[in-house]
């Protein structure tokens, strides 16, 4: 029960990581018409989860979970996570949220992590240090990740709250499948083919009117 409560707290929208300020490139995708309704949002998010940063971050999270008591290994994972960012804003998004998470998690005793620790690595390390099951952490992280993107899309498209919830419900099997797919993945398996999402994140850097930081 305690483990569940901690995951709910750490991955809640109310936990002060500043996630609400990032769209992960969705703002550019909405402006260009790639994401314009419920159906296209669902398609976009399936690709991000299964073939893009959702999958990559979950692999990194799992390895950070296993290395929670090994500062040297955590430092290497953090470096790899930052190197894997597909652009400046993705790099800043992961790092700013990671640093905010580390500060906010202080009451639960954060393990020793590098000063520059990306969000997924910080979450994995904290969960591992507290003995929270790795699979639960991975699935919960993906759920929180996609929920934040849906929230951004609801504001940007715009979509109604009910449409956003329908997308979230449809994505449940994709979330679980991505969590399962990363279970035996090594760090050498990091990579993806959600190129349009990566391009969106890069193009957002020079987008004229922006509500979000990524």
Q: What is the pLDDT of residue 62?
A: 98
Residue 103: domain span: 23-204
Q: What is the pLDDT of residue 3?
A: 82
**Cβ atoms 65, 137 nearer than 8 A:** yes
In a domain, 5, yes or no: no
Alpha carbons 126 and 132: distance in angstroms, whole number? 9
Q: Which residues of the chain have pLDDT under 70?
A: none
Q: What is the pLDDT of residue 155?
A: 96
In a domain, 136, yes or no: yes
* Count of domains observed in the chain: 1
CATH of the domain at 69: 1.10.4190.10
Q: Which of 106, 111, 116 has its CA nearest to residue 71?
A: 111
**Residue carrying structure tokens 């299964």:** 50
Alpha carbons 206 and 5: distance in angstroms, whole number? 40
In a domain, 209, yes or no: no
Q: What is the pLDDT of residue 21?
A: 97
Q: What is the pLDDT of residue 36?
A: 97
Q: What is the pLDDT of residue 165?
A: 98
Give 58-78 as a DSSP string: HHHHHHHHHTTT-HHHHHHHH
In a domain, 44, yes or no: yes
Q: What is the pLDDT of residue 1?
A: 73
In a domain, 75, yes or no: yes
In a domain, 50, yes or no: yes
The answer for residues whose C-beta is within 8 angstroms of residue 206's C-beta and 6 or more apart is none
Q: What is the pLDDT of residue 32?
A: 97
**Structure confidence by residue, pLDDT tens digits, 21-77:** 999 999 999 999 999 999 999 999 999 999 999 999 999 999 999 999 999 999 999
The values of phi and psi at residue 150, to 5°, are: -65, -40
In a domain, 14, yes or no: no
In a domain, 160, yes or no: yes
């Amino acid at each position: 029960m305690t483990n569940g409560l901690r995951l709910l707290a750490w991955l809640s929208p109310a936990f002060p990581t500043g996630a609400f300020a990032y769209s992960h490139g969705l703002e550019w995708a909405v402006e260009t018409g790639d994401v314009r309704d419920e159906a296209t949002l669902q398609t976009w998010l399936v690709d991000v989860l299964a073939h893009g940063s959702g999958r990559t971050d979950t692999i990194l999270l799992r390895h950070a979970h296993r290395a929670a008591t090994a500062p040297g290994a955590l430092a290497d994972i953090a470096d790899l996570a930052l190197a894997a960012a597909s652009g400046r804003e993705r790099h800043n998004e992961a790092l700013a949220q990671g640093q905010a998470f580390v500060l906010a998690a202080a009451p639960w005793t954060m393990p020793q992590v590098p000063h520059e620790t990306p969000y997924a690595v910080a979450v994995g390390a904290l969960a591992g240090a507290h003995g929270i099951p790795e699979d639960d952490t991975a699935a919960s992280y993906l759920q929180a990740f996609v929920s934040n993107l849906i929230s951004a899309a609801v504001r940007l498209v715009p979509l109604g709250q009910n449409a956003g919830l329908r997308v979230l419900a449809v994505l449940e099997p994709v979330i679980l499948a991505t969590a399962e797919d990363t279970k035996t993945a090594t760090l050498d398996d990091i990579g993806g083919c959600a190129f349009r999402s990566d391009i969106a994140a890069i193009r957002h850097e020079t987008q004229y009117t922006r509500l979000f930081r990524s």
